[in-house]
Structure 1
Amino acid sequence: MSPDRFGHFIAIDWSGAAGERHKGIALAMASRGNAAPMTIRPGHRWSRTEVLEYLRDDLPGDALVGMDLGISLPFADRGGFFPGWAETPENARELWALIDDICADEPHLGVSALVDHPDLSAYFRRHGGREGARFGGGQGRFRVTEAAQRRMGCKPYSNFNLVGAAQVGKSSLSGMRLLHRLEGRASVWPVDGLPDKGPVICEIYTTIAAMAAGRTASRSKMRSAAELNEALHALGSAPSGLAGPLDDHTCDALVTAAWLRNAAQDPRLWHPRELSDEIARTEGWTFGAH
């Protein structure tokens, strides 16, 4: 891949919370070089639909976009997303289409209709101690990339787990609705491979970026300009120009945009050892996991 393949590096801290607008959504962009990344629409409280519109209509053609969510569900462990269900999808794009179809009448890219589906609810752990018969017990099912995250010292959650403050299931499912609705406006790595031109979206895990900036997995969250600027300095970036306390979502987005600018130049991260064509097509991968 040419070192000039990407010129804009965008990180999105995502949220699957109920409602329209969320303090947990933050977008930041870094450009080529070492200038400080900048928040996109600072002070704005984003909706998931607005993020979709931004990615569909305003994305630079040379953008690499990292979204902090799971782009698919476990497949390799049992040979399918929903083993035992006759209509289980064959690949990630079919999964996104299925989720969006089931939830078509739900506003704000919500996913309650999927979670409460008469057949599919059996595969999830839901609130109120409702663990579906096909959830799998324990911490639930994991993708191959999440095993790689664990080896790096991260603590991923199963995308089938919808319970607890650290769960990422609902945000990932809502993100899959977004990816389906992009309708080809951007490629999604590694599901679509890595085309020679055009914007590319990838899955990120902000903890990996924080660790590259000198933080530990247990101290990955930053909530002040001082912590943010220390992390940016470790990534070779100019300081943010911000001061005082900050929310962790903004810090996550800014640090991850700076990390993405560096990481995109590392060919090893585009070719992780365990990423087969089958894994790419079904489960996808977390950029930076190895």
Structure 2
Amino acid sequence: MSVRDFAHFIAIDWSGARGARHKAIAMAVADAAGGPPVLVRRQRGWSRAEILEVLTDGLPANSLVGLDLGIALPFADRGAYFPDWDQSPPDARALWSLVDEMCAEDDHLCAGGFVDHPQASAYFRRHGAREGARFAPEGQTGGRGRFRVTERAQEAIGCKPYSNFNLVGAAQVGKSSLTGMRVLHRLGGRVPVWPIDPLPGEGSVVVEIYTTIAAIAAGRTASRSKMRDFAELNAALANLGSPPVAGDGAIDDHASDALLTAAWLRVAAHDPAMWLPAGLTPEIARTEGWTFGVA
């Protein structure tokens, strides 16, 4: 496979929290020409709607954009996102549409309307020890919940993924994923989302990222993936062949995640194996998607 060139590499650390603006949303850009990655700041923090505006109207030409969220829910393990529910969608785009429709009354692209839905809630683990009857894999109770094929592949490279059906705990990704699905639905196909869409021959494309993968590629471990000072961040950037970012002392881990992952995307995008992972079939691409960087 011939890997195409991108001009810009953008990493977006995401948040599924309630509210209009979020300090946890961070965006960084690395230029193909070189130089250190650059943090793109908003004084009061980014809103999800502003990120959507960037994706639809404000992207630099020919950008590879990584969103730190799950672009779909587990499907392959049960042949459905929501087994035995007659509204279970057939593929990822239909899932995005359903989530956005059921959350129409939620402000700020939140997703409470979906996880509180009488039928959908049965598949999630929610706060207050509310575990839905369908949260666990078939034949099990409790546990870590269901996983996509790409998340099982993440485990094989040293990551510790959480189920997108889990909404509890500091490391949970369920809310981020559901709010991200609303954004992806509202993109309306204006920017392809790989691998649900094929990699285009030109123009920008969105991929799912997991910032821990970038940290591991930069010489850290899953348990030490978070970098909270500039010295740690710049040491990791050096391992990726990137110049350091300016600064000294503390840095919040959302910013460091975005900066390191933007620099990593600049390197990883040229590896054909990243675009042809062994476990990615057409059916998996259509229903579950994939995490870029899991070969």
- 1:243 offset after TM fit, Å? 2.0
The CA deviation string for residues 128-168 of structure 1, in whole angstroms up to 9 with x for no partner, is 11111111131100000000000111100000011111110
Distance change in 2, residues 1:3/1:241 (3 Å): farther
CA contact (8 A) 2:66 2:207 kept: yes
SS at match of 1:187: coil
2:88 corresponds to which residue? Answer: 88
* 1:214 is the counterpart of 2:222: no
Q: Which residue of 1 aligns with 2:49?
A: 49
Which of 136, 150, 153 lines up with 2:155 in the alignment? Answer: 150
Deviation at 1:2, TM superposition (A): 5.3
Tell me which amino acid in the other structure corresponds to 2:250.
P
TM-score, length-normalised on structure 2? 0.96
2:163 & 2:121 partners in 1: Cα distance? 15
Query: Does the 8 Å CA contact 2:122/2:135 hold for their aligned counterparts?
Result: yes
- The answer as to 2:82 corresponding to 1:77 is no
Greater mean deviation of Cα atoms: 237-246 or 91-100: 237-246
Aligned partners of 1:160, 1:42: CA distance in 2, in Å? 30
Quote the offset at 1:40 in angstroms. Answer: 1.2
1:282 and 1:132 mapped to 2: Cα distance?
22
Distance 2:42 2:287 in 1: 35
Is the aligned partner of 1:176 residue 2:181? yes
* Paired residue secondary structure (2:207): strand
Q: Distance in 2 between matches of 1:242 and 1:279?
A: 42
Determine which of 191, 195, 209 is the counterpart of 2:196: 191
One-letter amino acid of the counterpart of residue 31, structure 1: D
The aligned amino acid for 1:252 is D
Q: 1:43 to 1:241 in 2, by over 3 A?
A: farther
Correspondence 1:114 to 2:114: yes
1:210–1:216 Cα contact (<8 Å) kept: yes
Cα distance in 1 between the residues matched to 2:90 and 2:279: 20
Deviation at 1:60, TM superposition (A): 1.9
Give yes or no for contact 1:5–1:196 (8 Å, CA) kept in 2. no
Q: Is residue 2:43 matched to residue 1:38? A: no
1:26 aligns with 26
8 A Cα contact 1:81 1:88, kept in partner: yes
Describe the superposition over 1:191-231 as per-residue Cα deviations: whole angstroms up to 9, x where unpaired: 00111112100000000000111111100000111111111
Which of the residues 123, 143, 146 maps onto 1:141?
A: 146
Match of 1:161 in 2: 166
Amino acid corresponding to residue 132 of structure 2 in structure 1: G
Kindly report structure 1 stretches of 4+ aligned residues shifted beyond 4 Å. 1-4
* Amino acid of the structure 2 residue aligned with 1:39: L
User: Partners in 2 of 1:35 and 1:270 — Cα distance?
Assistant: 25
Alpha-carbon distance in 1 for matches of 2:43, 2:18:
20
CA distance in structure 1 between the aligned counterparts of 2:81 and 2:175, rounded to whole angstroms: 16
C-alpha separation in 1, matches of 2:268 and 2:102: 36
Q: CA RMSD in A?
A: 1.1
CA contact (8 A) 2:74 2:81 kept: yes
Please name the residue that 2:233 is paired with: 228
Identical aligned residues as a percent: 65
Aligned position for 2:139: none
Normalising to structure 1: TM-score of the pair? 0.98
Whole-angstrom distance in 1 between the partners of 2:44 and 2:214: 24
Secondary structure of 1:30's aligned partner: strand
1:53-85: CA deviation from partner (whole Å, max 9, x where unpaired): 111110123000001100000000000000100
- The 2-side partners of 1:143 and 1:163 are apart by 18
